[in-house]
Structures are given as structure tokens and as C-alpha cells.
Structure 1
Amino acid sequence: MSASLGKFTSALMAASQENTVALAALNFDFSLYKVEAPKEYQALGSCLSDERRILAEGGSQHLTARKLGAVFRTRLPAVPHLLRAFAASSPLRNVFAQKVGIDGTSIWAAATSGTEALCAQLLACMLARFWAADEATSIWAEILEARKIELSERGGNFDIPELAAMQTTVSRDQLADWDASARAWLRTADAVNLKQQSQLRLIIENLNVEVNQRRNTYESVMEVWFESMKVVDKLVAGVPQSVHNGAVLVGLSA
């Protein structure tokens, strides 16, 4: 009898702990979670308009950045050199020196949401580069659903932000806004570096290199996203690379 009671008590405690974690995840407010932006990104934040800064730090763009970062966090590679170079690059300084008030909302939202969100912003730039707005938004929606399924089948322990991200949704309108901000940033950055970008595009268009052979949208996007970030990160760090697919070209162009 005592042994059975002990098993029952243990099961009850385990269930209680699971419910506590689940409730904590449901109550986790993504809008309250903000990190200090890396120092390389501070100049960007100071150049944003008040409206865009508020939207990026606590509005819908911030929510989107936090959710995307949390959903993909455990699959992302570490790319510190790339993220520092992206912030400290001459386009970033030049853009805001010439056009104060342009749309850098998604970048600042990501910078104040963690490195995972910055990686998600880089993916937004890649999708915006090669797909029309409606198509890019649809790809975002598809890979988010696929990632949630992947997480649900993974098993094991989840932290609270990850659980919260799995249980919440990112609406199509939010994804469209996220894409629009990245798209606006690309247009401005291209205008500032018109000559270099035109040269790169000519090189890419004259190369017959396949990006990858995957037919599944989710796995194809994940492979291009991760491989391009890893290769560019090593290039920035001065590590020679031998590239055999077009993923890195996708990353460089964005």
C-alpha cells in the first residue's frame, strides 16, 4: 500500500511540475523580454525614429523577433563573426548617416531580442532577396509550422521561451511586416552600395551553381540559411573556404 501511495505521489508531483512549466510558458510575455543590444548595433538604435524604436523594442516587430528566435534557437549555428560584421559594416554606418529615419525596425527588434533573433533577421533578408513579398511570407509560415512539428516530435526537455514559442502563433500579418522591414532595409543598403551590389549580382547570375537539391521547403531553407551563415562567418574570421553549392552566394547577396 505504501509503495503504491509513493508511486502515486511521485506521479502527481511530476504532473504538477509539468503543469507548472506549461502554465509558465503560457504566461511568458515575449514583449517583456528584452536584451541589451550588442555594442556594434548601438549606433543603429540611436538613429531610428522614435516610432520605429518603440515598435522594435516592445511592439509587434519585437514579438515577432523573439518568437522566431525562440523557435529556431536550438538549431542555429554560432556565427559571432558574421553578426559583428553585419552590424559594424560600412553599409550600416553609411545608410544612417545619409538617410536618418529609414526602416531599420526589424534589425533593432532582433538586436534587442538576442543573437537567435539576429539570425532570423538575416534569413528575412535572404528570403526578401529572392522571393516576392507574398511568397516570402508564405515560406515563413510554412517553415514555422514545420519547425513546430519537428520540436513536438523531438521529445526531451524544453525551456520556457521555447515552450512559449511553440504554443503561440505568428500571424501572417506579423510575418508580412517582418518581411517588409527586411525588404526596405535591403533596398536602402543596395542603394548605398550600388556598385558593389551590381558587381556581385553579375557574378552570381553568370554562375551555374545549384543552391541545393532538397525538394522539401523546410529542409531546403534550413540548409541554405545555416550553411550560408557558417561560411560567411568563417570568411569574416579569415578562414579560407571551399564552396560547392550556391548557399553562400545567397547569403552574400543578402
Structure 2
Amino acid sequence: MAAHLQPYNIIETCHISPPKGTVASTTLPLTFFDAPWLTLPLADSLFFFSFQNSTESFLKDFVPNLKQSLSITLQHFFPYAGKLIIPPRPDPPYLHYNDGEDFLVFTVAESTKTDFDQLQTDAPKDISVLHGVLPKLPPPHVSPEGIQMRPIMAMQVTIFPGAGIYIGNSATHAVADGVTFSHFMKYWMSLTKSSGKDPATVLLPSLPIHSCRNMIKDPGEVAAGHLERFWSQNSAK
């Protein structure tokens, strides 16, 4: 039997940032590796975890740890809490994180009417049944000068009481390629599993290196063609 889309109860929506003062306000360039993805839709991901406890236990024992570990993780993956800045043409887009102001939107939801086991099977299903467990990325803000500021990532955790949880993600693909996002998730889940222990005492994946963006050169101006296509599509919208 096909699953049917059921309403999800939003319990909480909050803002998660790196601990204040741990990351300086930073600007990073996009490289020609990133430019081809500017014209693509958002990248969505879903992760399934068994969780046999109640919603009350989830909110009390699991969510606070998940938030704290996400904040610490964003200290090292801070572009995900920042924005994609799109100045008027011909200036190229870039990434910016503003300490004390930027954040990642984090939503906690509950589903009591949808079958968790049915959703995670490999059997064919209407893809719309998964839309409720994916977060909504906030809309871009446009300044009076015509500068677009697009949020980069949003997360949603949905509890299916007595069955499991979904962790859903929506992100701008130019910033969150598959390898980097997998790195981010492994770091976050490793911290979550450590249950609040000092990160210095926990075996964690290696830290990302953001300075390498400034070392990547584009002598053939490969990014230029991708930016032309992006500007054309962006102005049309």
C-alpha cells in the first residue's frame, strides 16, 4: 500500500550558530569547482536512525545534545551557518559568515500518523511523502543595493515516536558538495554520540581546511562561463 502524505507537527524552530567568538567573521571565494553548481536546485538529504523511545524522551535527552554538538561542529564548518552573497553583475558570488549574526535554521518536528518503516523501505513510493521531513530553507534577502544574501543550509529532525528519527537537510549545492557534507555529518554525529564529552578527548574526523579555497587558481577562466549562465538565470528570476 502506498504511503500517504500526513501532516507533521512542528515542535520548535531555532537558530544554531558556532559558539559566539569562536569563529571570526570570514569571507571565502567560490572556486571554479563550485561555479557549475550555482544553477542547480537545492541539494536535499535524509538520514534514518532507529529510536525506540517517546517524544518526551527525545526532546529531553536527545535534542539538547544534538543542538550543542551541532553548534560545536559549525565552529569548524562555519560556511554552512553563513550566507551565499550575490552582488550585482559583474562581481562574482562569494561566501560570508558574520560572527554573532549568522545562523543555521534548525527545526524539530513530530509525526504520529506516518509509518516510519514504510518510509525507509526501498519499495516505490510517492516522493511527496518525504517532503514533510525536509527543512525549508529561508528565502534570500535582497539589500537596497541589489545584493542577494542566500542562507546556505537548514536542518530538520523529525521524531516518529517508538520507531525512529529522520535528519533532513537542504543546502545550496555550490557550498555543500557530497564529500564535504559527508565530512560535516560524520563530525556532527561523532560529537553527538560522545554525549557532551570534551571534544579534545573524543576521536573525531579530521578538521576541514577552508584556506585552500584561496590557493585554487583558474588560469583558463573556467568559472566565467558558468557565472554567465548563472547571471542569466538569476536575472530572469
TM-score range, shorter chain: under 0.3
Bigger relative contact order (CA 8 A; separation at least 6): 2
Q: TM-score, normalised by structure 2?
A: 0.26
Larger Rg over CA atoms: 1
Q: TM-score, normalised by structure 1?
A: 0.24
User: Hey, which of these two has a bigger chunk of strand by percent?
Assistant: 2
- Normalized per residue, the structure richer in helix is 1
